[in-house]
Structures are given as C-alpha cells and as structure tokens.
Copies of this chain bind each other. A is one copy, B any other.
Amino acid sequence: MMGEGKFDISPEWVDGETKALEAPGDHRAELRLWLRLLTCSTLVESEVRRRLREEFDSTLPRFDLMAQLERAPDGMVLGEVSKRMMVSPGNITVLVERLTESGHISRTTLPTDRRVQIVALTPFGRAEFEKMAARHADWISDLFAGLSAKEGGVLMDELAKLKRSVIASLAGNT
C-alpha cells in the first residue's frame, strides 16, 4: 500500500471536458478552477504534514501556532492566535495544552485581567521552531521549483485578485 510514502495520488482527473455552450447558470469554469486550486493546496499541504511528522514528529497546526508566536516576542493573547490562524477558540485551547506540556510554549494569566491567557515561545520552542521553519522553507521551495520567478509573480497576482473576490463575496457584495 505504501508505494512511495503515501497512499497513491492520481492527479489526472481534474480535467473534465469544457466544450460547453455557456448556458445561463453554467458555473463549470469556476468549478474547475476551484477544484484545481484545491488540488494544489491539498498536495502541498499533505506533503508538508508528512514531512513535519517524519522529520520532527510534529504537526502542521503546531507549526502554525509556533509561527504566529515567533513574530510576537512578548507573547500573544489566545483570542488573537485564534483569529490569526482562522481556527476556532476551542481548537487553540487543545493545541496550547499540548505545546505547553512539551515545553515549546509558556502560558501566563494576565494579572490585570484574569480571563486573559498569554502564550509565548520558550527558548526551547523558539529553537525548535527555527529548525522546522528552515526545513519547511526548503520543502516549499522544492515543491514550487518548477515555476519561474515570472510565473510565480503572475500566480501571486492572480491569487491576490481571487482573495479580494472571495473576501468581497463573504462581506456581502455580489
């Protein structure tokens, strides 16, 4: 079953045929675009998860949480972490518990408001994160190596447009 480290991925199914007369309410092009975006994202994400596990016995959520804290030397309030990571507050609770147990982060209750928890990387956590971040950057670089600088730039710009489109749509525009 483990041919080369994973269950097999057969990537050749994204292309339906598009020779369609564009009827009203025909959303085929958008759907195909979304599927392709999702495929790219999933492929990269799965690989990153796999390597974090294999090389560091860690997970992507833990890495992401530490990445947020790396830029906040004085620590960050849990709610802020939750917003930045775009995950639910309850999720943060669990992640913080585990990362605290393993010594990667510290947590403090704010004296002036005892509802507030502040988390920060420990020196150990920071050192570990830096190792992971360096490897992570290499992995991404390898996975994206087939894109030229120019192609990458175009993709970056188009994704910016897409992001604006999505956010506008979520905000209620149509």
Contact = CB atoms under 8 A, between A and B. Distances in A.
Contact of A11 (B7, B82, B148, B159): B148
Contacts of A144: 11, 30, 33-34, 162, 165-166
Interface residues of A, number: 75
A83 B170 contact: no
* Identical copies in the complex: 2
Interface stretch (A36-44, A94-102, A108-116): A36-44
A23 to B, nearest CB: 12
Interface in A14-72: 14, 18, 25, 27, 29-34, 36-47
Given A7-B149, A7-B156, A158-B154, A43 B163 contact: yes
B154 A154 contact: yes
Nearest to A84: B13
A4 B174 contact: yes
B164 A146 contact: yes
Contact of A86 (B18, B46, B169): B46
A42 B167 CA distance: 12
Contacts of A155: 7, 33, 37, 155, 158-159, 161-162
